[in-house]
Structure formats: structure tokens, C-alpha cells
A and B are shown apart, each in its own frame.
Chain A
Amino acid sequence: MSTSRDGTFAMNENAFVQLVLSHLRGYLREPEAIFWTYGFPLIMVLGLGVAFNTETETVTAFTVSEAAASMPVVKALGEDASFDVAVLPLEEALIGLRRNRTPLVLSIDESGDVEYFFDPTNPDGSAARRLVDDAMQRAAGRTDALGWTDRRTDAPGSRYVDFLVPGLIGMNIMGAGLWGIGFSTVDLRVKNLLKRMVATPMKRSHFLLSLVSSRIVFFIPEMTFLLIAAHLVFGVPIAGSYATILLIAFLGSLTFAGLGLLTASRARRIESISGLMNLVMIPMWLCSGIFFSSERFPAFLQPFIQALPLTQLIDALRAVILSGESLLSQTTPLMILGAWSIVSYALALKFFRWV
């Protein structure tokens, strides 16, 4: 605590430190917040990692009549470990298809001709149709005209779990910035504490900066923890330099903290901030490539999707973590993030409701 009289700088520095400390203390002393920051993302990585890290060769297919079940081609299908075959009445099998319990239903008549039922917009349906057809045609005597060899690409670095981890880190950066800053800001406003603070000589910029800083102080260990856990449990490679990863994560945190401030700049109630947060986050949740590549969306949506900060953050994280790309190669995503930061902070400062 300072009682210095020798100029405002010493006083202000101290005020800033005290503000950061007050946010950190308030946060550290909230066990639930600690869980949602450290525990939940870890559970999510572990859960999704396990779910998507099992081999997905088994295709469930239904045949429909007892007579067909005894045909050699169908028997061969049943013996193939890649498939899981069940014999059911057609109606029941089709219900299974509609409820996504199976990707494919076969109806086989006495002569051995097959009707395939599947949903072509579901990638699993089309794949299952091709695999089952291949297996049956071969069992019936077809020989392949060209020779082939399978080369599996599930080495660390190119599996789904590897793709997922940088996406989850990006998602967490977004969540920490928006929820963390948004909720605490509105909470302070609801409690009249913001008003109480501006009734003191406190500098308003110090207050905003302290909120953002305390978030970032929290976020960097969180991200490191997640990345190390993913590395140890699933062998997710960390190809790029740590400094570059940290720098990108830092810029991402700064951007989403700014977006959090902007989202919370006017809200007076927890209910309205919740709605606003969802409005801001849901498009990014869906489109920015957390769980699957954002390039799967149609071309006309791409300009919009590529402009979202989360798309750029996740792309940069993936490039550096998985492919070991350099900081310089990520100039474009970082500039887009930077532009979002500057605009968010400028607007937040302008519109922030203090009283």
C-alpha cells in the first residue's frame, strides 16, 4: 500500500495492481469458477478425445429376411469384422435408420439383388453403402481390376483428436474472454460497484485494463495445462514453438476480452448479458471450425466465416501446434485478430455504461 506523494504515476500503478489483485482474488475464491476454467475444458478434451479416438470401422447394417440371411454373400458380410449385421423386418430396420442407429439398411430379394436405404447427406451413410457393396460384390466373386494398398494416416498429428485440441483451446479462449469479462462486468454494474468506483479518482482505463489483464493472467496457465494434458494423454504433438503458441493465445485472449467488454458495455442485467453472449458466440461455435473444418461450409458463407475472430485464431493455433508453422506465416490471421481487438476496445470505451 502506498502513501507516496511523489507524483501520480506511482499512485496509479499501485491502483492498477490493486484492481488486478481484486479481480484475481474474487475469482480465485470462487471454487466453481476454477472448475469451469480448469476442470471443464479438461473433461471436454478427455471426453471428446476418447470418443473420437476409437477406430470407426464398424458399420451396422440390417438385412431384412430370414431367407436372405442364409445366402452366402450375406453370411460373408456377417463374418466380416468391419460390419455389424442384424436381421430385422424392413419397417423396424427403417426406423433404426431414421433414428440414426444405423447408417445403412439393405433389402435383399431371393435372386440376391440389393436395395440400399441411406441418407446421402450423412457422410456415414454413403461410406457404409460403398463399403458394404464392395464387400458383397467381392464375396459374390467380383475381382478388383486395379491393385491397391491401404496406408493408414492415424499417426499422431493427423488424427481427429489432434484436430480437435487446438479447436477446443480456441473455444476456451473465446469462452473465457466473453463469459469471464462479460459476467463480471455486468455483475459489478448490478451491484452498483462500477458506480462506486467511478465516484473515486480511479482512472476508468485502469479499471478496464485490469479486468482484461486478470483474465489473461488466468488464461495462459489454463491453456498450457490443456495442451500438456492433451500431449500426455493422447500424444497430441506440439510441433511449433511455445513462444509462438503463447503469443497467438495471448492475442486471442486480448481480442475476446475486448469483445467481452464490448458485449457487456451497456447491459444492466445478467439475463440480457447472457442473451448477448450467446448471440455473439453461437455463430462462432457453429462456423469457426472447432469440431470440424470451417471449409465444409458453402463458398458463399466463407467470407463471413473467415472474418470471424475465432476462425482465424483456431486456424493459426492449428497451423502452429500441429504443423509447426512460424509466427510470420500467420500474419494474416493475427492481423484480423488485431483489427477485432482495436475495434472492440475502441467501441467498448466509447459506449461503456459506468453509472
Chain B
Amino acid sequence: MSEAVSCRQLFKRYDGGKKSVEAVRGLDLHVSRGECFGLLGPNGAGKTTTVEILEGLLQPTSGEVEVLGLRWGEGRDHELRQKLGVTLQETKLREKLSVLETLRLFRSFYDDGIAPEAALALVSLEEKAAAWVLKLSGGQRQRLAVACALVGKPELLFLDEPTTGLDPQARRQLWDVVTDLKRQGNTILLTTHYMDEAEKLCDRVAIVDHGQVIAEGSPKDLISRMGGEHVIEFTLQPNGDSGVGPSVFEELEDVRKAVEESGSYLLTVSEPHRSIPALLELLRRENLVLGSLTTRHVNLEDVFVNLTGRHLRDE
């Protein structure tokens, strides 16, 4: 079976005289059918530009793009659009249309699809069918946007920042919707700058920074590539001396990497039951006193920090 999405050496430059911006710089991407693929990266990394090129809304400056085995601009755009479901980042649907009217409108654009009522059921919005979009909460609007993308029974679903700006409960409801869609075998390409979202929803993730993919794999793979699966995070009580460099801790048993970040030390380890006693021993020897100490699993945020030295949400 062909790939759902493949793009090679994708470039996109927005010309604005002296202020030209190169949003995408040689991005490669391969999404298989049936998987949920995530583009994870900070704001401005080029994620939205990339998906809008894949959706046929923007022209790439250069590069090869193939979506469901077809290319944009070769006379089969209409056929291709029949097979795609799209939610854009921030679409404001007409406020004075009801939920069902909105879905009927979108359904009318597709030759084949599911009943508007069935699309509502997929996003658990049945009881709002008659309500005006105006009356919906942010989470409900976002679920309606997903329903509008599903009503044409897409072979490939694009979700651009599906949970940005939603409260935690609404995010979780949307995650449930996406998880259900995954379970039914849909191919989904989503973008997000939430690492927990990518970790929870995506079979594979491409970490995007400055218009390029800097790492790719399943969340588990990416995390294990860090060398350890746990992070020990601690602070020291001030003792009058100048601070201690993080490199001191890299000498310890089981510690793969040590960084200092705004007064905290982060140690990447694989076996905390061995590294923690070693750490405590070192601190005692050096007459240093702990301010706090916690441990947690490594997450995609740590992977991103490790790769770029920055946080996902710095910008």
C-alpha cells in the first residue's frame, strides 16, 4: 500500500522583500496509512506551513509532495480534496448557523461521506445539533471543526493544533475523539506543540524545529534514544560558594547527561535506585545540602530540550 503522505526536501519561502522568511527548509516526511503521525515543535517551527502545503492550500517553493499517491496541480486536485479531511488552526465557523446546518453545508461538498448526524456522534456533540455555533464552548467548536473534517469520510485527516487554547477537560475530550478515530483505522496527521498530546496520541512523531525534522520515531523510541528513561531533578541550598557546574554530576554512576537550568539540575538516568545513592554520597562529600529532589519519566519535552537546548514553549 502506498504511503499516505510523502514529502522530500520541502522548502517554503514567504517573500516579503527584505523580510523574506524561510518557513520550511528541506523538510522530509513519510506518513503510512493507518497511523497517527504527529508534527511536534514550537510555534513558528513551520508545522502549519507544512500541513497547508500538504493540504494543497499553499504552494511549496520547492520540493516533492505526494498525498495519497497524488500530486497537487496535476489536474486531479478535486479528486484529492474529496479524500481529505481538514481542520485548520483557528477557523471560526459561522456563528449564526446551527451545528447541524454547518455539517450539512460541509457534507454537500463531498460526493461520498457519512450523514451529518453520524459525524456529530463521532465527536459526541449530538445534543448540540440544533444549537448555534455562537453558543458552543471552545472545546465544542473544536469538536465541530473535527466533525466537519470527518463528514466527507476522509482517507486522511489533518488536525492542525487541535487543542490549542482549550482547557484541560476539553483537551481530554478531544483526545478521546482522536483515540477513537485511530482505533477505527483512520490515517491522521496532527500538529501540536504539546508534548503530552504527541506522546498520548501519536504512533510516530517528527520533531520539527526551524523548518526541518530534527528527530523522528515513535515517542518511545525518541525517549529511549536519550539513553535513560528517568530524570532526577534537584536543587541545592545556597552555601555561600559559587554554584556547582553540572558536569560534576556526569561523573556519577548511571548518569547519562546532566544540565543546569534556572537553578535546578536535571540528570538523565536509567536506574534511579543506583544513581540517587551515588548522588547523595557526592553531595555529602562536598558539603552540599539538597533543597528539593524529584524524579519523573523522560518525556518528549526533554527530548526537545536535549536536541535544541530550548523548551517547546519558549517562544
Contacts and interface: CB of A to CB of B under 8 A. Distances in A.
Contacts of A196: 86, 88, 91, 93, 148
A193 B91 contact: yes
B57 A195 contact: yes
B106 interface: yes
Contact of A199 (B78, B88, B93, B111): B88
Contact of B94 (A1, A22, A198, A200): A22
22 contacts: A1-B115, A3-B115, A11-B111, A14-B108, A15-B109, A18-B105, A18-B108, A25-B96, A25-B97, A26-B97, A193-B93, A195-B88, A196-B91, A196-B93, A196-B148, A199-B86, A199-B88, A200-B106, A201-B81, A201-B109, A201-B152, A355-B52
Interface of A: 1-3, 5, 8, 11, 14-15, 17-19, 21-22, 25-26, 29-30, 191-193, 195-202, 355
A19 to B, nearest CB: 7
Nearest to B89: A192
Contacts of A17: 108
A2 B112 CA distance: 10
Chain B interface, DSSP helix/strand/loop, else mixed: loop
Contacts of B132: 29
Nearest to B55: A199
A29 B94 CA distance: 11
A11 B78 contact: no
Interface string B67-104: 00000000000100110101010111110110001101
Contact of B84 (A3, A195, A199, A355): A199
Contact of A200 (B96, B104, B152): B152
B152 to A, nearest CB: 7
Most chain B Cβ neighbours within 10 Å, of A14, A191, A195, A200: A200
Nearest to B152: A200
B107 interface: yes
A13 to B, nearest CB: 9
Given A191-B91, A196-B88, A355-B58, A202 B97 contact: no
A200 B109 CA distance: 7
B38 interface: no
A1 B104 contact: yes
Interface of B: 52, 55-58, 78, 81-82, 84, 86, 88, 90-94, 96-97, 101-102, 104-113, 115-116, 132, 148, 152
A4 to B, nearest CB: 9
A22 B109 contact: no
Most chain B Cβ neighbours within 10 Å, of A8, A22, A198, A201: A201
A235 B148 CA distance: 53
B100 to A, nearest CB: 10
A22 B78 contact: no
A199 B91 CA distance: 12
A196 B152 CA distance: 14
A123 to B, nearest CB: 49
Given A199-B55, A200-B152, A193 B94 contact: yes
Nearest to A184: B94
Contacts of B102: 22
Contacts of B113: 3
A48 to B, nearest CB: 32
B58 A199 contact: no
B217 to A, nearest CB: 29
A5 B105 contact: no
Contacts of A26: 94, 96-97
A25 B58 CA distance: 31
| Ranked 9 nearest A-B pairs via Cβ | A191-B92, A29-B96, A18-B108, A200-B109, A15-B108, A201-B81, A199-B86, A202-B109, A196-B91
Contacts of B88: 192, 195-196, 199
A18 B104 contact: yes
Given A1-B116, A30-B96, 20 more contacts: A1-B108, A2-B108, A3-B115, A11-B111, A15-B109, A22-B101, A22-B102, A192-B91, A193-B92, A193-B93, A193-B94, A196-B88, A197-B109, A200-B86, A200-B109, A200-B110, A200-B152, A201-B82, A201-B111, A201-B152
